[in-house]
A and B are shown apart, each in its own frame.
Chain A
Amino acid sequence: MKPRRALRRGAFTPYLFLAPGLVLFALFRVYPLLEGLWLSFTNARLGRAQQTFVGAANYLRLLDDTRFHVSLVNTAYYTIASTVPILAVPLVLAVALNRGVALRTFLRGAFFFPFTLSVVTVGLTWLWLLDPVIGPSTYYLRAAGVPVRSWLADPGTAMWAIIVTTVWWVTGYYLVIYLAGLQDIPRELYEAAAIDGAGGWRSFWSITMPLLRPVFLFVLVTHVIGSFQIFGQVFVLTNGGPGDATRTVVQHLYETAFQNFFHFGSASAMAWVLFVIILVFSLLQFRLLRGHTQY
Chain B
Amino acid sequence: MSRTGRSWRAALTALMVALAIVWLLPAVWVLVTSLKLTENIVRVPPEWIPWPATIEHYGEVLFSSSRTARIGRAFFNSIVVSLGSVALVVLASAMAAYPLARMRFRGRNLVFGLIVGSLMIPNAVILVPQYVLVQRLGWLSTYQGLIVPEAAMTFAFGVFLLRQFFLTIPSELEDAARIDGADPWQIFTRIVLPLSQPVLGALAIFAFRSAWNDFLWPLIAVNKPDMFPLPVALALLRGAYAAESYGPIMAGAVLSALPLLIVFLVANRRIVEGVRVSALKG
Q: Measuring CB to CB, which residues of chain A are less than 8 angstroms from any residue of chain B?
A: 10-11, 13-15, 17-18, 20-22, 24-25, 27-33, 35-36, 39, 44, 93, 96-97, 99-103, 105-114, 116-121, 123-129, 131, 133-134, 136, 139-140, 143, 168, 173, 176-177, 180-181, 184, 215, 218, 222, 225, 228-229, 231-232, 235-236, 250, 253-254, 257-258, 264, 267-268, 271-272, 274-275, 278-279, 282
Which residues of B are found within 8 Å of A215, using beta-carbon distances? 279-280
B49 → chain A, closest Cβ, in Å? 13
Per-residue A-contact encoding for B81-116, CB less than 8 Å = 1, 0 else? 000000010011101101110010100100100110
5 A-B residue pairs with Cβ-Cβ distance under 8 Å, sorted by A, are A29-B156, A96-B16, A112-B264, A120-B231, A274-B122
Closest to A135 in B: B46
Chain A residues touching B, majority SS: helix
Which residues of B are found within 8 Å of A27, using beta-carbon distances? 133, 152
Q: Are B129 and A168 in contact (CB under 8 A)?
A: no
Stretch at the interface among B50-58, B196-204, B211-219: B211-219
- Given the interface contacts A118-B215, A250-B124, does A124 sit within 8 Å of B13 by beta carbon? no
Closest to B102 in A: A14
In the bound assembly, the distance between CA atoms of A105 and B12 in angstroms comes to 15
- Given the interface contacts A18-B96, A110-B23, A232-B216, does A272 sit within 8 Å of B238 by beta carbon? no
Q: Are A35 and B129 in contact (CB under 8 A)?
A: yes
Q: Are B95 and A232 in contact (CB under 8 A)?
A: no
Closest to B22 in A: A110
A217 → chain B, closest Cβ, in Å? 10
In the bound assembly, the distance between CA atoms of A283 and B136 in angstroms comes to 35
Q: Are A111 and B249 in contact (CB under 8 A)?
A: no
In the bound assembly, the distance between CA atoms of A222 and B280 in angstroms comes to 12
Q: Are A271 and B16 in contact (CB under 8 A)?
A: no
A166 → chain B, closest Cβ, in Å? 13
- Given the interface contacts A112-B272, A275-B122, does A39 sit within 8 Å of B234 by beta carbon? no
- Given the interface contacts A124-B250, A177-B279, does A25 sit within 8 Å of B156 by beta carbon? yes
Which residues of A are found within 8 Å of B214, using beta-carbon distances? 118
In the bound assembly, the distance between CA atoms of A114 and B26 in angstroms comes to 9
Q: Interface residues of B, CB < 8 Å — how many?
A: 96
Which residues of A are found within 8 Å of B188, using beta-carbon distances? 17
Which residues of B are found within 8 Å of A107, using beta-carbon distances? 16-17, 20
- Residue among B42, B132, B155, B250 with the most chain A CB within 10 A? B132
- Given the interface contacts A111-B23, A180-B276, does A124 sit within 8 Å of B16 by beta carbon? no
In the bound assembly, the distance between CA atoms of A11 and B96 in angstroms comes to 15
In the bound assembly, the distance between CA atoms of A181 and B276 in angstroms comes to 9
Per-residue A-contact encoding for B244-281, CB less than 8 Å = 1, 0 else? 10100110010011001101100011011001100110
Give the 6 A-B CB pairs with smallest separation, nearest first.
Answer: A21-B96, A28-B152, A14-B99, A118-B213, A110-B20, A32-B129
- Given the interface contacts A22-B96, A32-B130, A124-B250, does A180 sit within 8 Å of B29 by beta carbon? no
Let me know if B242 is at the binding interface, CB within 8 A. Answer: no
Q: Are A96 and B92 in contact (CB under 8 A)?
A: no
Let me know if B127 is at the binding interface, CB within 8 A. Answer: yes
Q: Are B275 and A173 in contact (CB under 8 A)?
A: yes
Let me know if B30 is at the binding interface, CB within 8 A. Answer: yes
A49 → chain B, closest Cβ, in Å? 11
- Given the interface contacts A21-B159, A126-B26, A139-B44, does A117 sit within 8 Å of B213 by beta carbon? yes
In the bound assembly, the distance between CA atoms of A133 and B46 in angstroms comes to 11
Let me know if B179 is at the binding interface, CB within 8 A. Answer: no
Closest to B220 in A: A258
Per-residue A-contact encoding for B58-73, CB less than 8 Å = 1, 0 else? 0000000000000000
Q: Are A176 and B118 in contact (CB under 8 A)?
A: no
Q: Which listed residue (A32, A119, A258, A275) contacts B133, Cβ 8 A?
A: A32
